[in-house]
Structure 1
Amino acid sequence: MTTFFSVPTLVGLAELAGAIRDGMTVPFTHLAIGDGGGNPVDPTGRTGLVREVDRVQVASIKKHPAEPTWLVVEAAIPEDRGGYWIRELALIGGRAGGKVMSVSNYPAVERPAPGAGAVTGMVLRMVVAFVDAAAVSVLVDPQAYATLQAVLDQIGIHEGKADPHPQYTTPGEAATVAATAVGMHQAEADPHPQYARVGRLLTADVLKALRGARAFRFFNSAS
């Protein structure tokens, strides 16, 4: 069973049916973001979010490449928004506006507050299924689309770098460090000073005692 999924609300289905009947389209305008009240969410039968923490404008809607009745809704959280967890999404729209069209759960992810020092733009994607995808439209605010494109550009630049995470050791660097450490270890005159060496154990007194022992004569009869 799919862990994360969206479910159209009865209001959303009614809106879509009315648009098809009237030869019109249903606009999608926003993605509402919720934290689930601190708990995972099952969207089945829900009419809205458990607890909404933010709302961002829809920037694009694309048909799913594998499923003709699925739509991929994209929106971007600007850099100056955050300070919450994301566990659920709701698609907002309707001909009158402000209606919850579909509800989805979401993998729990923390959106740090702007002052945390590690905040960048974040793209949200919600896949929704409707019988007639052609009856759906999107009201795109140019600023929302620009924000989405800016975030996608940042991701592209990041992934295009030869070493996008210089704070982490690469496999090649790890191998070099390991080889250097082994070489230095093997070059030491006494790499294991915590262990007694045979040369230190077999002092003159110890050898004399061993030669006088029956066990030593038995195993070393030539002495």
Structure 2
Amino acid sequence: MPDFYSLVTTTGKARLAAAIAAGQPLQLVQFAVGDGDNGASYNPDESQVALKHEVWRGQVNQVLVDPANPGRVIVEGLLPDSAGPFTVREVGIFSPAGELIAIGKYPSSYKPVFGAGANKQMYVRMVLAVTNTAAVSLTLDPSVVIASQTYVDQKVTTALNQLSAQLSAELYFFGQL
């Protein structure tokens, strides 16, 4: 097994199977991090229903299908400046009912707060292998969600290409081209 990994919990597997059977996507709404088992890394397993020691929970920032592997879903969370201080060693994804859908072992990463003399927003990704990526979705809270640079670049490029095509068509129509 790799040093760091994510897995769908037993509860998550049951919820995902039910979502596929019902033709309704499984909502992933909350992202949590913990500092591990008494401040130490451990190997999570699919029978867990909670993180060993949760230290922060917030909204999922983004859920997307991995462009490099369509059988994987990437779930992203953003820990704000105000979260901390703690060391992240475990991550979890939760349903609207508060059920732990997936859990992961994360490389030890210190999250300071401003009063410690340094501060950072911490961007955390969890990658999940699933058989039906269409069965997973995200419920957005627009007051919390941020866009990745790649997402913004893609949207801006698409919009500029559409605008350029429209302008070219209008200039051609008016005999300017």
Shift of residue 46 of structure 1?
4.1
CA contact (8 A) 1:82 1:114 kept: no
Is 2:120 the partner of 1:105?
A: no
Alignment deviations for residues 38-59 of structure 1 (CA, whole Å, 9 cap, x no partner): 1112022341211100012111
Shift of residue 21 of structure 1?
0.8
CA contact (8 A) 2:111 2:120 kept: no
Larger Rg: 1
Q: How does the TM-score come out when normalised to structure 1?
A: 0.62
CA contact (8 A) 1:83 1:114 kept: no
Which of 51, 61, 74 pairs up with 2:63? 61
Quote the residue 2:170 is aligned against: none
Quote the residue 1:42 is aligned against: 43
Indicate how the Cα distance of structure 1 residues 45 and 16 shifts in structure 2: closer, same or farther if over 3 A, else same: closer
2:64 aligns to what SS in structure 1?
strand
Q: Aligned partners of 1:98 and 1:78: how far apart in 2?
A: 21
How well do the aligned residues superpose, as a CA RMSD in angstroms? 1.7
Shift of residue 5 of structure 1?
0.5
Unpaired segments of 5 or more residues in structure 2? 151-177
Aligned pairs for 1:185-196 within 5 A: none
Larger helix share, 1 or 2: 1
Quote the residue 1:86 is aligned against: 88
Shift of residue 145 of structure 1?
1.3
Larger strand share, 1 or 2: 2
Q: Aligned partners of 2:73 and 2:46: how far apart in 1?
A: 20
Higher relative contact order (CA 8 A, sep 6+): 2
